[in-house]
Structure 1
Amino acid sequence: MKDKWGANRACAWFLLNTDIDEIDEYMADSEHPTGKGYLEWLTPFVEEKLVETWRLRVNIVPEYQPENVAKNAPNILTGKNIAYLGSSVTFGSASEGISFADYIAARNDTSYIKEAVPGTTLVDNGEQSYIQRMINNISPDEQVDLFVCQLSTNDASAGNPMGEISDSQNLEDFNTGTIIGALEYILTYVKQTWDCPIMFYTGTKYDSEAYGQMVEALKQLQGKYEFGIIDMWDDLDADISEYDEYMSDGIHPNRKGYLEWWTPFMEEKMIEYLTQEGQ
Protein backbone atom coordinates (compact mmCIF):
# COMPACT_ATOMS: atom_id res chain seq x y z
CA MET A 1 0.00 0.00 0.00
CA LYS A 2 1.38 3.41 -0.99
CA ASP A 3 1.60 6.25 1.52
CA LYS A 4 -1.17 8.81 1.18
CA TRP A 5 0.05 12.08 -0.22
CA GLY A 6 0.45 15.62 1.16
CA ALA A 7 -1.41 16.91 4.20
CA ASN A 8 -2.48 19.94 2.15
CA ARG A 9 -4.89 17.50 0.46
CA ALA A 10 -6.55 16.72 3.77
CA CYS A 11 -9.87 15.48 2.40
CA ALA A 12 -8.20 12.99 0.09
CA TRP A 13 -5.71 12.10 2.83
CA PHE A 14 -8.44 10.85 5.13
CA LEU A 15 -11.13 9.70 2.73
CA LEU A 16 -9.62 8.44 -0.53
CA ASN A 17 -8.91 4.73 -0.36
CA THR A 18 -5.42 3.83 -1.56
CA ASP A 19 -5.72 0.14 -0.78
CA ILE A 20 -6.80 -0.71 -4.32
CA ASP A 21 -5.45 -2.97 -7.05
CA GLU A 22 -4.91 -0.05 -9.45
CA ILE A 23 -2.73 2.02 -7.11
CA ASP A 24 0.47 1.47 -9.12
CA GLU A 25 -1.32 2.61 -12.28
CA TYR A 26 -2.77 5.66 -10.54
CA MET A 27 0.35 6.94 -8.71
CA ALA A 28 3.64 7.94 -10.41
CA ASP A 29 5.29 8.04 -6.98
CA SER A 30 4.21 8.44 -3.37
CA GLU A 31 3.02 12.02 -3.96
CA HIS A 32 2.05 12.44 -7.61
CA PRO A 33 -0.83 10.79 -9.47
CA THR A 34 -0.40 9.68 -13.06
CA GLY A 35 -2.65 11.03 -15.81
CA LYS A 36 -4.80 7.94 -15.44
CA GLY A 37 -4.87 8.47 -11.68
CA TYR A 38 -6.13 12.01 -12.08
CA LEU A 39 -8.78 11.06 -14.63
CA GLU A 40 -10.15 7.83 -13.18
CA TRP A 41 -9.48 8.22 -9.45
CA LEU A 42 -8.72 11.66 -8.02
CA THR A 43 -10.97 13.78 -10.28
CA PRO A 44 -14.19 11.78 -9.66
CA PHE A 45 -13.46 11.93 -5.92
CA VAL A 46 -12.99 15.71 -5.96
CA GLU A 47 -16.11 16.15 -8.11
CA GLU A 48 -18.16 14.12 -5.65
CA LYS A 49 -16.91 16.17 -2.69
CA LEU A 50 -17.58 19.45 -4.48
CA VAL A 51 -21.17 18.39 -5.15
CA GLU A 52 -21.60 17.34 -1.51
CA THR A 53 -20.24 20.69 -0.34
CA TRP A 54 -22.56 22.57 -2.70
CA ARG A 55 -25.58 20.66 -1.45
CA LEU A 56 -24.72 21.51 2.15
CA ARG A 57 -23.83 25.15 1.58
CA VAL A 58 -26.82 26.04 -0.62
CA ASN A 59 -29.07 25.44 2.38
CA ILE A 60 -27.33 28.08 4.51
CA VAL A 61 -27.00 30.87 1.95
CA PRO A 62 -28.85 33.94 3.37
CA GLU A 63 -30.81 34.57 0.16
CA TYR A 64 -32.59 31.24 0.64
CA GLN A 65 -33.78 32.05 4.16
CA PRO A 66 -37.58 32.48 3.99
CA GLU A 67 -37.46 35.89 5.66
CA ASN A 68 -35.17 37.17 2.90
CA VAL A 69 -37.13 36.10 -0.17
CA ALA A 70 -38.93 38.63 -2.37
CA LYS A 71 -42.68 38.86 -1.89
CA ASN A 72 -45.23 38.40 -4.64
CA ALA A 73 -47.87 41.01 -5.35
CA PRO A 74 -51.08 40.38 -3.35
CA ASN A 75 -53.05 37.53 -4.89
CA ILE A 76 -55.71 34.97 -4.08
CA LEU A 77 -53.31 33.12 -1.73
CA THR A 78 -52.67 36.21 0.40
CA GLY A 79 -54.17 35.87 3.86
CA LYS A 80 -55.17 32.25 3.36
CA ASN A 81 -54.50 29.57 5.98
CA ILE A 82 -53.11 26.55 4.14
CA ALA A 83 -52.76 23.07 5.66
CA TYR A 84 -49.97 20.90 4.24
CA LEU A 85 -49.90 17.15 4.89
CA GLY A 86 -46.93 15.07 3.81
CA SER A 87 -43.60 13.47 4.52
CA SER A 88 -39.95 14.36 3.84
CA VAL A 89 -40.51 16.49 0.74
CA THR A 90 -43.14 18.58 2.50
CA PHE A 91 -40.91 18.83 5.57
CA GLY A 92 -37.75 19.76 3.66
CA SER A 93 -35.48 16.90 4.71
CA ALA A 94 -32.69 17.86 2.29
CA SER A 95 -33.02 21.58 3.00
CA GLU A 96 -32.69 21.99 6.77
CA GLY A 97 -36.45 21.78 7.35
CA ILE A 98 -37.39 24.50 4.87
CA SER A 99 -39.68 23.56 1.97
CA PHE A 100 -42.08 25.08 -0.54
CA ALA A 101 -44.60 25.49 2.31
CA ASP A 102 -42.34 27.98 4.07
CA TYR A 103 -41.53 29.83 0.86
CA ILE A 104 -45.17 30.08 -0.24
CA ALA A 105 -46.01 31.58 3.15
CA ALA A 106 -43.15 34.06 2.99
CA ARG A 107 -43.82 35.10 -0.62
CA ASN A 108 -47.60 35.40 -0.35
CA ASP A 109 -48.27 36.31 3.30
CA THR A 110 -50.15 33.11 4.08
CA SER A 111 -50.43 31.37 7.41
CA TYR A 112 -49.90 27.62 7.32
CA ILE A 113 -49.87 24.29 9.08
CA LYS A 114 -47.03 22.00 8.02
CA GLU A 115 -47.92 18.51 9.21
CA ALA A 116 -44.95 16.66 7.74
CA VAL A 117 -43.01 13.67 9.05
CA PRO A 118 -40.24 12.09 6.93
CA GLY A 119 -40.65 8.46 5.95
CA THR A 120 -44.42 8.31 6.39
CA THR A 121 -47.05 6.98 4.02
CA LEU A 122 -50.54 7.56 2.74
CA VAL A 123 -51.36 3.95 3.61
CA ASP A 124 -52.61 3.85 7.19
CA ASN A 125 -49.98 1.65 8.82
CA GLY A 126 -49.63 3.29 12.24
CA GLU A 127 -49.85 6.47 14.27
CA GLN A 128 -47.48 8.37 11.94
CA SER A 129 -49.42 7.68 8.75
CA TYR A 130 -50.86 10.62 6.83
CA ILE A 131 -54.38 9.71 7.94
CA GLN A 132 -53.60 9.42 11.65
CA ARG A 133 -51.66 12.69 11.73
CA MET A 134 -54.40 14.47 9.79
CA ILE A 135 -57.02 13.29 12.27
CA ASN A 136 -55.00 13.78 15.45
CA ASN A 137 -52.73 16.75 14.73
CA ILE A 138 -54.87 19.16 12.70
CA SER A 139 -57.77 20.52 14.72
CA PRO A 140 -61.24 20.14 13.19
CA ASP A 141 -61.87 23.66 14.49
CA GLU A 142 -59.00 25.11 12.44
CA GLN A 143 -60.00 27.54 9.71
CA VAL A 144 -58.45 25.85 6.67
CA ASP A 145 -58.77 27.72 3.37
CA LEU A 146 -56.82 25.20 1.28
CA PHE A 147 -55.60 21.67 2.04
CA VAL A 148 -52.51 20.49 0.14
CA CYS A 149 -51.44 16.83 0.41
CA GLN A 150 -48.27 15.19 -0.88
CA LEU A 151 -48.54 12.08 -3.03
CA SER A 152 -45.99 10.19 -0.98
CA THR A 153 -42.99 8.59 -2.64
CA ASN A 154 -42.67 6.37 0.43
CA ASP A 155 -45.69 4.33 -0.64
CA ALA A 156 -44.00 3.64 -3.96
CA SER A 157 -40.69 2.75 -2.29
CA ALA A 158 -42.44 0.41 0.17
CA GLY A 159 -44.40 -1.34 -2.58
CA ASN A 160 -47.70 -0.58 -0.87
CA PRO A 161 -50.74 -2.02 -2.68
CA MET A 162 -52.57 0.32 -5.05
CA GLY A 163 -56.11 -0.86 -4.38
CA GLU A 164 -59.21 0.16 -6.30
CA ILE A 165 -61.61 3.09 -6.38
CA SER A 166 -64.58 2.24 -4.19
CA ASP A 167 -68.29 2.68 -4.93
CA SER A 168 -68.78 4.46 -1.61
CA GLN A 169 -68.13 7.90 -0.17
CA ASN A 170 -68.35 6.77 3.46
CA LEU A 171 -65.15 6.93 5.51
CA GLU A 172 -65.70 3.50 7.06
CA ASP A 173 -65.89 1.85 3.64
CA PHE A 174 -62.43 2.83 2.38
CA ASN A 175 -59.60 0.30 2.50
CA THR A 176 -56.93 2.56 3.99
CA GLY A 177 -54.41 -0.26 3.78
CA THR A 178 -54.19 0.61 0.08
CA ILE A 179 -52.98 3.79 -1.62
CA ILE A 180 -56.27 4.57 -3.36
CA GLY A 181 -58.28 3.81 -0.24
CA ALA A 182 -56.09 6.19 1.77
CA LEU A 183 -56.45 8.90 -0.88
CA GLU A 184 -60.23 8.50 -0.81
CA TYR A 185 -60.24 8.71 2.97
CA ILE A 186 -58.22 11.93 2.96
CA LEU A 187 -60.41 13.50 0.27
CA THR A 188 -63.61 12.65 2.12
CA TYR A 189 -62.33 13.59 5.57
CA VAL A 190 -61.12 17.00 4.39
CA LYS A 191 -64.46 17.70 2.72
CA GLN A 192 -66.45 16.65 5.79
CA THR A 193 -64.20 18.37 8.33
CA TRP A 194 -63.09 21.66 6.75
CA ASP A 195 -65.18 21.83 3.55
CA CYS A 196 -62.32 23.57 1.78
CA PRO A 197 -60.59 23.14 -1.58
CA ILE A 198 -58.07 20.30 -1.63
CA MET A 199 -55.09 19.71 -3.88
CA PHE A 200 -52.57 16.89 -4.13
CA TYR A 201 -49.07 17.51 -5.39
CA THR A 202 -46.69 15.05 -7.00
CA GLY A 203 -42.92 15.03 -7.05
CA THR A 204 -40.91 15.70 -10.17
CA LYS A 205 -39.97 12.81 -12.45
CA TYR A 206 -37.55 10.24 -11.02
CA ASP A 207 -36.82 6.58 -11.70
CA SER A 208 -39.93 4.92 -10.27
CA GLU A 209 -42.53 3.06 -12.29
CA ALA A 210 -44.57 2.56 -9.12
CA TYR A 211 -44.79 6.29 -8.45
CA GLY A 212 -45.83 6.94 -12.03
CA GLN A 213 -48.69 4.48 -11.49
CA MET A 214 -49.68 6.36 -8.34
CA VAL A 215 -49.85 9.61 -10.31
CA GLU A 216 -52.18 7.97 -12.84
CA ALA A 217 -54.38 6.56 -10.06
CA LEU A 218 -54.62 10.02 -8.51
CA LYS A 219 -55.83 11.45 -11.82
CA GLN A 220 -58.45 8.70 -12.10
CA LEU A 221 -59.87 9.79 -8.74
CA GLN A 222 -60.77 13.16 -10.28
CA GLY A 223 -63.60 11.30 -12.00
CA LYS A 224 -65.19 10.75 -8.57
CA TYR A 225 -63.99 13.68 -6.45
CA GLU A 226 -63.51 17.40 -6.95
CA PHE A 227 -59.88 18.29 -6.24
CA GLY A 228 -56.86 19.83 -7.91
CA ILE A 229 -53.51 18.28 -8.80
CA ILE A 230 -50.19 20.07 -8.84
CA ASP A 231 -48.69 17.67 -11.34
CA MET A 232 -44.95 18.16 -11.31
CA TRP A 233 -44.48 14.56 -12.49
CA ASP A 234 -45.90 15.26 -15.95
CA ASP A 235 -46.00 19.05 -16.21
CA LEU A 236 -42.70 20.27 -14.74
CA ASP A 237 -39.77 19.30 -16.97
CA ALA A 238 -37.00 17.59 -14.99
CA ASP A 239 -34.68 17.45 -18.00
CA ILE A 240 -33.11 20.84 -17.27
CA SER A 241 -29.52 22.02 -16.96
CA GLU A 242 -30.09 23.24 -13.38
CA TYR A 243 -31.34 19.86 -12.13
CA ASP A 244 -28.22 19.01 -10.11
CA GLU A 245 -28.23 22.50 -8.59
CA TYR A 246 -31.84 22.10 -7.51
CA MET A 247 -32.02 18.51 -6.25
CA SER A 248 -30.23 16.75 -3.43
CA ASP A 249 -31.31 13.43 -4.93
CA GLY A 250 -34.03 12.22 -7.28
CA ILE A 251 -36.79 13.04 -4.80
CA HIS A 252 -35.69 15.87 -2.49
CA PRO A 253 -34.98 19.46 -3.57
CA ASN A 254 -32.54 21.69 -1.73
CA ARG A 255 -33.54 25.25 -0.83
CA LYS A 256 -32.53 26.59 -4.23
CA GLY A 257 -34.66 23.94 -5.91
CA TYR A 258 -37.66 24.67 -3.74
CA LEU A 259 -37.43 28.45 -4.12
CA GLU A 260 -36.50 28.80 -7.78
CA TRP A 261 -38.12 25.72 -9.33
CA TRP A 262 -40.90 24.07 -7.34
CA THR A 263 -42.42 27.02 -5.48
CA PRO A 264 -43.27 29.24 -8.49
CA PHE A 265 -44.89 26.27 -10.27
CA MET A 266 -46.88 25.28 -7.18
CA GLU A 267 -48.02 28.85 -6.57
CA GLU A 268 -49.20 29.13 -10.17
CA LYS A 269 -51.27 25.95 -9.93
CA MET A 270 -52.70 26.86 -6.51
CA ILE A 271 -53.75 30.30 -7.75
CA GLU A 272 -55.31 28.78 -10.88
CA TYR A 273 -57.28 26.24 -8.86
CA LEU A 274 -58.54 28.66 -6.21
CA THR A 275 -59.57 31.11 -8.92
CA GLN A 276 -61.43 28.33 -10.71
CA GLU A 277 -63.14 27.38 -7.44
CA GLY A 278 -64.17 30.99 -6.83
CA GLN A 279 -62.22 31.24 -3.60
Structure 2
Amino acid sequence: MCEKLPPKEHDTTFKFLFADKEEILLLVKDILHYTWADNIEEDTIELVKTNYVTQQFSQVEADVVAKAKLKDKEVYFYILIENQSKVKREMQQKILKYMISLWAEEIRKGVQILPAIIPIAVYNGIGERWNVSTDLMEAFDIFKDDVFRYRVVDIIELDVKKLLEREEDVLTPIVFYLEQAREDRSELIGRLLEVEKNLKKLSKKNVDRFLEWSYHIIRPRLAEEQKSEYDGIAKRVKQEGVEAMGEFISNVARLLDEAKTKDFLAGKFEATIEFAKRLIQKGFSDEEVAELTELEIEKVKELRKSMVN
Protein backbone atom coordinates (compact mmCIF):
# COMPACT_ATOMS: atom_id res chain seq x y z
CA MET A 1 0.00 0.00 0.00
CA CYS A 2 1.35 3.40 -0.94
CA GLU A 3 2.38 5.73 1.82
CA LYS A 4 -0.08 8.59 2.26
CA LEU A 5 1.17 11.66 0.43
CA PRO A 6 1.75 14.83 2.44
CA PRO A 7 -0.91 17.57 2.13
CA LYS A 8 -0.27 20.11 -0.63
CA GLU A 9 2.78 18.17 -1.79
CA HIS A 10 2.62 19.96 -5.16
CA ASP A 11 2.87 23.34 -3.41
CA THR A 12 6.04 22.29 -1.64
CA THR A 13 7.50 20.79 -4.81
CA PHE A 14 6.93 23.80 -7.03
CA LYS A 15 7.85 26.35 -4.38
CA PHE A 16 11.17 24.51 -4.13
CA LEU A 17 11.53 24.35 -7.91
CA PHE A 18 10.81 28.02 -8.59
CA ALA A 19 12.90 29.26 -5.72
CA ASP A 20 15.67 29.29 -8.32
CA LYS A 21 15.80 32.27 -10.69
CA GLU A 22 17.15 30.17 -13.57
CA GLU A 23 14.04 27.99 -13.35
CA ILE A 24 11.77 31.04 -13.40
CA LEU A 25 13.60 32.39 -16.44
CA LEU A 26 13.24 29.05 -18.22
CA LEU A 27 9.51 28.98 -17.41
CA VAL A 28 8.72 32.38 -18.94
CA LYS A 29 11.24 32.20 -21.77
CA ASP A 30 11.43 28.61 -23.02
CA ILE A 31 8.12 27.11 -21.87
CA LEU A 32 5.64 30.00 -22.08
CA HIS A 33 7.61 31.90 -24.75
CA TYR A 34 6.74 35.40 -23.54
CA THR A 35 8.11 37.85 -26.12
CA TRP A 36 9.57 40.10 -23.44
CA ALA A 37 11.38 37.28 -21.62
CA ASP A 38 14.55 37.69 -23.71
CA ASN A 39 14.94 41.18 -22.24
CA ILE A 40 14.89 40.13 -18.59
CA GLU A 41 18.05 40.97 -16.68
CA GLU A 42 18.70 37.63 -15.01
CA ASP A 43 20.65 39.18 -12.14
CA THR A 44 17.61 41.26 -11.16
CA ILE A 45 15.31 38.27 -10.60
CA GLU A 46 14.59 37.88 -6.92
CA LEU A 47 11.95 36.17 -4.83
CA VAL A 48 9.85 38.47 -2.68
CA LYS A 49 7.47 37.82 0.19
CA THR A 50 4.29 36.04 -0.80
CA ASN A 51 1.99 36.86 2.10
CA TYR A 52 0.10 40.15 2.36
CA VAL A 53 -2.34 41.52 4.90
CA THR A 54 -5.58 42.87 3.46
CA GLN A 55 -7.55 45.80 4.88
CA GLN A 56 -9.65 43.21 6.73
CA PHE A 57 -6.40 41.94 8.35
CA SER A 58 -6.72 38.56 6.65
CA GLN A 59 -3.67 36.84 5.18
CA VAL A 60 -3.35 36.47 1.40
CA GLU A 61 -0.52 34.18 0.36
CA ALA A 62 0.63 33.28 -3.13
CA ASP A 63 2.92 30.35 -3.95
CA VAL A 64 5.79 32.15 -5.69
CA VAL A 65 6.27 35.85 -6.41
CA ALA A 66 9.38 36.96 -8.25
CA LYS A 67 10.54 40.47 -9.02
CA ALA A 68 12.53 41.22 -12.18
CA LYS A 69 13.71 44.02 -14.42
CA LEU A 70 13.91 44.38 -18.19
CA LYS A 71 17.18 45.41 -19.82
CA ASP A 72 15.72 48.47 -21.54
CA LYS A 73 13.41 49.58 -18.73
CA GLU A 74 14.04 51.29 -15.41
CA VAL A 75 10.98 49.70 -13.83
CA TYR A 76 10.42 46.38 -12.11
CA PHE A 77 7.63 43.92 -12.80
CA TYR A 78 6.39 40.86 -10.93
CA ILE A 79 5.83 37.24 -11.93
CA LEU A 80 3.13 35.56 -9.86
CA ILE A 81 3.23 31.75 -9.98
CA GLU A 82 0.33 29.77 -8.52
CA ASN A 83 0.62 25.99 -8.32
CA GLN A 84 -2.47 23.83 -8.83
CA SER A 85 -3.06 20.07 -8.76
CA LYS A 86 -6.80 20.39 -9.39
CA VAL A 87 -8.78 22.51 -11.81
CA LYS A 88 -9.94 25.54 -9.84
CA ARG A 89 -13.10 27.19 -11.16
CA GLU A 90 -12.45 30.33 -9.12
CA MET A 91 -8.87 30.70 -10.35
CA GLN A 92 -9.49 34.14 -11.86
CA GLN A 93 -10.78 35.51 -8.55
CA LYS A 94 -7.87 33.93 -6.69
CA ILE A 95 -5.26 35.46 -8.99
CA LEU A 96 -6.97 38.86 -8.91
CA LYS A 97 -6.94 38.75 -5.12
CA TYR A 98 -3.18 38.13 -5.13
CA MET A 99 -2.58 40.89 -7.68
CA ILE A 100 -4.65 43.45 -5.79
CA SER A 101 -2.84 42.60 -2.54
CA LEU A 102 0.54 42.98 -4.23
CA TRP A 103 -0.43 46.33 -5.78
CA ALA A 104 -1.75 47.53 -2.41
CA GLU A 105 1.66 46.72 -0.91
CA GLU A 106 3.36 48.78 -3.62
CA ILE A 107 1.00 51.71 -3.03
CA ARG A 108 1.85 51.61 0.68
CA LYS A 109 5.51 51.95 -0.33
CA GLY A 110 4.62 55.14 -2.19
CA VAL A 111 5.14 54.03 -5.81
CA GLN A 112 3.69 56.36 -8.43
CA ILE A 113 3.33 53.82 -11.26
CA LEU A 114 2.12 50.33 -10.44
CA PRO A 115 4.33 47.49 -11.66
CA ALA A 116 2.98 44.98 -14.16
CA ILE A 117 2.13 41.57 -12.70
CA ILE A 118 2.36 38.51 -14.96
CA PRO A 119 0.17 35.72 -13.48
CA ILE A 120 1.05 32.09 -14.22
CA ALA A 121 -0.70 28.91 -13.07
CA VAL A 122 1.41 25.75 -13.03
CA TYR A 123 -0.99 22.78 -13.19
CA ASN A 124 0.08 19.18 -12.57
CA GLY A 125 -3.32 17.46 -12.51
CA ILE A 126 -3.32 13.97 -14.02
CA GLY A 127 -6.94 13.37 -14.99
CA GLU A 128 -8.87 16.51 -15.89
CA ARG A 129 -7.27 18.97 -18.28
CA TRP A 130 -7.27 22.68 -17.46
CA ASN A 131 -10.49 24.11 -18.90
CA VAL A 132 -10.96 27.38 -16.99
CA SER A 133 -10.66 30.63 -18.94
CA THR A 134 -7.31 32.37 -18.52
CA ASP A 135 -8.88 35.76 -19.22
CA LEU A 136 -9.10 37.56 -15.88
CA MET A 137 -11.90 39.74 -17.23
CA GLU A 138 -14.07 36.62 -17.21
CA ALA A 139 -14.12 36.97 -13.44
CA PHE A 140 -16.56 39.84 -13.91
CA ASP A 141 -20.20 39.26 -14.70
CA ILE A 142 -20.98 42.46 -16.63
CA PHE A 143 -19.37 45.75 -17.73
CA LYS A 144 -16.15 43.95 -18.65
CA ASP A 145 -15.09 46.76 -20.98
CA ASP A 146 -15.43 49.35 -18.20
CA VAL A 147 -13.90 47.60 -15.18
CA PHE A 148 -10.27 48.62 -15.78
CA ARG A 149 -11.01 51.87 -17.58
CA TYR A 150 -12.19 54.98 -15.78
CA ARG A 151 -13.98 57.92 -17.32
CA VAL A 152 -13.49 61.57 -16.40
CA VAL A 153 -16.28 64.03 -15.70
CA ASP A 154 -14.52 67.35 -16.29
CA ILE A 155 -16.89 69.72 -14.51
CA ILE A 156 -15.41 72.83 -16.10
CA GLU A 157 -16.03 71.46 -19.61
CA LEU A 158 -19.50 70.12 -18.81
CA ASP A 159 -22.64 71.77 -20.20
CA VAL A 160 -25.13 71.35 -17.36
CA LYS A 161 -27.66 73.98 -18.42
CA LYS A 162 -29.86 71.38 -20.13
CA LEU A 163 -29.99 69.42 -16.89
CA LEU A 164 -30.86 72.59 -14.97
CA GLU A 165 -33.76 73.25 -17.34
CA ARG A 166 -35.48 70.12 -16.05
CA GLU A 167 -35.78 71.70 -12.59
CA GLU A 168 -35.82 68.28 -10.93
CA ASP A 169 -35.17 67.40 -7.31
CA VAL A 170 -31.50 66.59 -7.97
CA LEU A 171 -28.47 68.42 -6.64
CA THR A 172 -25.69 67.45 -9.06
CA PRO A 173 -26.51 69.92 -11.91
CA ILE A 174 -26.77 72.80 -9.41
CA VAL A 175 -23.50 71.98 -7.67
CA PHE A 176 -21.64 71.38 -10.95
CA TYR A 177 -22.92 74.68 -12.37
CA LEU A 178 -21.75 76.58 -9.29
CA GLU A 179 -18.46 74.66 -9.06
CA GLN A 180 -17.58 75.90 -12.54
CA ALA A 181 -17.48 79.46 -11.16
CA ARG A 182 -16.27 78.95 -7.60
CA GLU A 183 -13.02 80.90 -8.17
CA ASP A 184 -14.77 83.86 -9.81
CA ARG A 185 -16.95 85.51 -7.19
CA SER A 186 -18.73 87.78 -9.66
CA GLU A 187 -19.70 84.81 -11.83
CA LEU A 188 -20.57 82.75 -8.75
CA ILE A 189 -22.97 85.46 -7.56
CA GLY A 190 -24.69 85.53 -10.94
CA ARG A 191 -25.03 81.76 -11.04
CA LEU A 192 -26.38 81.59 -7.49
CA LEU A 193 -29.17 83.97 -8.47
CA GLU A 194 -29.72 81.96 -11.65
CA VAL A 195 -30.23 78.61 -9.88
CA GLU A 196 -32.53 80.02 -7.20
CA LYS A 197 -35.57 78.56 -9.00
CA ASN A 198 -33.89 75.13 -9.04
CA LEU A 199 -33.02 75.33 -5.35
CA LYS A 200 -36.63 76.15 -4.48
CA LYS A 201 -37.73 72.84 -6.01
CA LEU A 202 -35.41 70.72 -3.87
CA SER A 203 -36.63 68.34 -1.19
CA LYS A 204 -35.69 68.90 2.45
CA LYS A 205 -32.99 66.24 2.11
CA ASN A 206 -31.38 67.96 -0.87
CA VAL A 207 -31.70 71.41 0.70
CA ASP A 208 -29.66 70.13 3.65
CA ARG A 209 -27.12 68.60 1.27
CA PHE A 210 -26.85 71.89 -0.63
CA LEU A 211 -26.22 73.74 2.64
CA GLU A 212 -23.48 71.23 3.43
CA TRP A 213 -21.82 71.93 0.07
CA SER A 214 -22.27 75.68 0.54
CA TYR A 215 -20.66 75.52 3.99
CA HIS A 216 -17.48 74.01 2.53
CA ILE A 217 -17.35 75.99 -0.73
CA ILE A 218 -19.10 79.36 -0.33
CA ARG A 219 -18.56 80.11 3.36
CA PRO A 220 -14.71 80.00 3.09
CA ARG A 221 -14.92 82.66 0.37
CA LEU A 222 -16.42 85.16 2.82
CA ALA A 223 -14.56 87.47 5.18
CA GLU A 224 -14.22 86.20 8.76
CA GLU A 225 -16.57 88.85 10.11
CA GLN A 226 -19.25 87.78 7.59
CA LYS A 227 -19.31 84.12 8.55
CA SER A 228 -21.51 84.50 11.63
CA GLU A 229 -24.14 86.25 9.49
CA TYR A 230 -23.88 83.44 6.93
CA ASP A 231 -24.36 80.84 9.68
CA GLY A 232 -27.51 82.59 10.87
CA ILE A 233 -28.98 82.67 7.35
CA ALA A 234 -28.16 78.99 6.79
CA LYS A 235 -29.72 78.08 10.14
CA ARG A 236 -33.01 79.72 9.10
CA VAL A 237 -33.08 77.64 5.91
CA LYS A 238 -32.55 74.49 7.96
CA GLN A 239 -35.42 75.45 10.23
CA GLU A 240 -37.87 76.83 7.66
CA GLY A 241 -36.94 74.69 4.67
CA VAL A 242 -37.08 75.64 1.01
CA GLU A 243 -39.37 78.62 1.74
CA ALA A 244 -36.35 80.48 3.13
CA MET A 245 -34.13 79.64 0.14
CA GLY A 246 -34.83 82.94 -1.66
CA GLU A 247 -33.67 84.92 1.36
CA PHE A 248 -30.59 82.69 1.66
CA ILE A 249 -29.56 83.20 -1.97
CA SER A 250 -30.03 86.99 -1.96
CA ASN A 251 -28.12 87.41 1.30
CA VAL A 252 -25.28 85.08 0.32
CA ALA A 253 -24.97 86.92 -3.01
CA ARG A 254 -24.72 90.19 -1.07
CA LEU A 255 -22.08 88.78 1.30
CA LEU A 256 -20.01 87.48 -1.60
CA ASP A 257 -20.19 90.87 -3.31
CA GLU A 258 -19.10 92.64 -0.12
CA ALA A 259 -16.22 90.19 0.33
CA LYS A 260 -15.15 90.75 -3.28
CA THR A 261 -15.15 94.54 -2.80
CA LYS A 262 -13.22 94.25 0.45
CA ASP A 263 -10.59 92.03 -1.16
CA PHE A 264 -10.28 94.43 -4.07
CA LEU A 265 -9.73 97.40 -1.77
CA ALA A 266 -7.29 95.42 0.36
CA GLY A 267 -5.35 94.42 -2.74
CA LYS A 268 -5.32 97.97 -4.01
CA PHE A 269 -4.08 99.27 -0.65
CA GLU A 270 -1.36 96.59 -0.56
CA ALA A 271 -0.23 97.61 -4.04
CA THR A 272 -0.10 101.26 -2.94
CA ILE A 273 2.05 100.35 0.07
CA GLU A 274 4.47 98.41 -2.15
CA PHE A 275 4.66 101.39 -4.53
CA ALA A 276 5.36 103.74 -1.62
CA LYS A 277 8.17 101.47 -0.40
CA ARG A 278 9.83 101.57 -3.80
CA LEU A 279 9.60 105.39 -3.86
CA ILE A 280 11.19 105.60 -0.41
CA GLN A 281 13.99 103.27 -1.51
CA LYS A 282 14.64 105.52 -4.51
CA GLY A 283 15.11 108.54 -2.22
CA PHE A 284 11.78 110.36 -2.54
CA SER A 285 10.84 112.58 0.39
CA ASP A 286 7.84 111.86 2.62
CA GLU A 287 5.91 114.71 1.01
CA GLU A 288 6.64 113.45 -2.52
CA VAL A 289 5.63 109.88 -1.61
CA ALA A 290 2.39 111.10 -0.01
CA GLU A 291 1.55 113.16 -3.08
CA LEU A 292 2.26 110.34 -5.56
CA THR A 293 0.48 107.60 -3.60
CA GLU A 294 -2.29 109.68 -1.95
CA LEU A 295 -1.32 108.15 1.40
CA GLU A 296 -1.51 110.23 4.58
CA ILE A 297 1.86 111.80 5.45
CA GLU A 298 1.77 110.05 8.85
CA LYS A 299 1.37 106.68 7.10
CA VAL A 300 4.38 107.41 4.88
CA LYS A 301 6.51 108.34 7.89
CA GLU A 302 5.39 105.19 9.70
CA LEU A 303 6.27 103.14 6.62
CA ARG A 304 9.72 104.72 6.32
CA LYS A 305 10.39 104.05 10.00
CA SER A 306 9.42 100.37 9.65
CA MET A 307 11.78 100.01 6.67
CA VAL A 308 14.68 101.49 8.63
CA ASN A 309 14.05 99.15 11.55
- The interval holding the TM-score normalised by the smaller chain is under 0.3
Larger helix percent? 2
TM-score scaled by length of structure 2: 0.23
TM-score scaled by length of structure 1: 0.25
